Amino acid sequence: MVTYRATLDVPEDLVSWLENLIATRRGEAGGSWRALTSWDQAILVLVWFIKGDSYPELGRHFGIGTETARRYVEETVDALAGLAPDLSAALAATGSERRVLLDGTLIPAWRCAAVATEDNPDPLYNAKHRRHGMNVQALTSSSGELLFLGTARPGSVHDLAAARADDIIDAATAAGVEIIADTGYTGAGGTCRTPARRPKGKGHNGWEKKANAAHARERAPAERPFADLKRCRLLDKLRISPSRVTQVLKALLVINRKQTSLSRA
């Protein structure tokens, strides 16, 4: 068997922060001897996120069993996800600006027969992208900071339906926060603002073109957080249970926000 060394493109302070989180959770849970130190477990989890290694690969790299690797990853993911901001905290974080950018994305995933229903035998299939995946809604600040990730839903769920299911539209309206979104959210109501749609068989007039161009500039930063998240090879094509995707994405959100704060320090 051949071994090799690899480098993770993350600051050491992030590993130290994650190590402290793991050590704290271990102390709360109690228990006996662990196969890996808190530091090594932190690195294992970051390798899983960034490199996308499978549990058997992680086990071989770190000299532990496959099930042990899976358990270490899942317990750390749950600890991280518990720190993710909820919707009310995300809306409060808009401050005096009172504006958020709403967008959705499809995270590619293996087709999973376990989520099939009688009404929809292939719910993970997204007709727009012509692939299987999970639909996730995100709220971003005007500066491009990721504030909130909603529940991961089957790819066949429309963006507007997913946003409503996450209560984003109603909560933002009640909080007096303006939502900037694309045409996929047309008809959302409340404080949600979308571009002017082109009338069937006609083109936009000059005023509509200018308004839509200004709208596009406002919502452009919403694309950046998804691009940052998808740098993690884990999201190239999810191989985990659909029921775990929400937890994993919220854990990634926490890591993303922590890494951003460390880079600004």
| pLDDT tens-digit map of 153-196 | 999 999 999 999 999 999 999 999 999 999 899 999 999 999 88
Residues 73 and 177 in one domain: no
Structural domain includes residue 248? no
Structural domain includes residue 254? no
Last residue in a domain, options 53, 81, 109 = 81
Structure tokens at 234: 């884990």
> According to the model, what pLDDT value does residue 4 have?
61
Structural domain includes residue 257? no
Structural domain includes residue 171? yes
Cα 241 to Cα 46: distance, rounded to the nearest angstrom: 19
Structural domain includes residue 3? no
Per-residue pLDDT of 118-147, as tens digits, reads 677 788 888 888 889 999 999 999 888 999
Structural domain includes residue 200? yes
Structure tokens at 229: 């998240």
Structural domain includes residue 199? yes
Structural domain includes residue 252? no
Per-residue pLDDT of 226-243, as tens digits, reads 888 888 999 998 888 889
Q: Which residues fall within 8 angstroms of residue 142, CB to CB, at 6 or more apart? A: 97, 99, 101, 218, 221
Residues 125 and 166 in one domain: yes
> According to the model, what pLDDT value does residue 258 have?
92
Residues 57 and 105 in one domain: no
Last residue in a domain, options 47, 81, 115 = 81
Per-residue pLDDT of 58-117, as tens digits, reads 999 999 999 999 999 999 999 999 999 999 999 999 988 999 999 999 999 887 766 767
Confidence of residue 199 (pLDDT cuts 50, 70, 90): low
Residues 193 and 67 in one domain: no
Per-residue pLDDT of 38-49, as tens digits, reads 999 999 999 999
Residues 205 and 173 in one domain: yes
Residues 77 and 94 in one domain: no
Cα 265 to Cα 263: distance, rounded to the nearest angstrom: 6
Cα 197 to Cα 178: distance, rounded to the nearest angstrom: 19
Residues 98 and 51 in one domain: no
Q: Provide the whole-model pTM.
A: 0.89
What letters, b where the CB count within 10 A reaches 16 and e where it falls short, cover 134-173? bbbbbbbbbebbbbbbbbbbbbbbebbebbbebebbebbb
Q: Structural domain of residue 157, as residue ranges?
A: 87-240
Per-residue pLDDT of 7-61, as tens digits, reads 788 889 999 999 999 999 988 887 777 899 999 999 999 999 999 999 999 999 9
Q: What is the mean pLDDT of residues 209-228?
A: 85
Residues 211 and 138 in one domain: yes
Residues 57 and 111 in one domain: no
Number of domains in the chain: 2
Please check the confidence at residue 203 and state whether its pLDDT lies above 80: no
Could you tell me whether strands 131-140 and 153-154 are parallel, antiparallel, or unpaired per DSSP bridges?
A: antiparallel
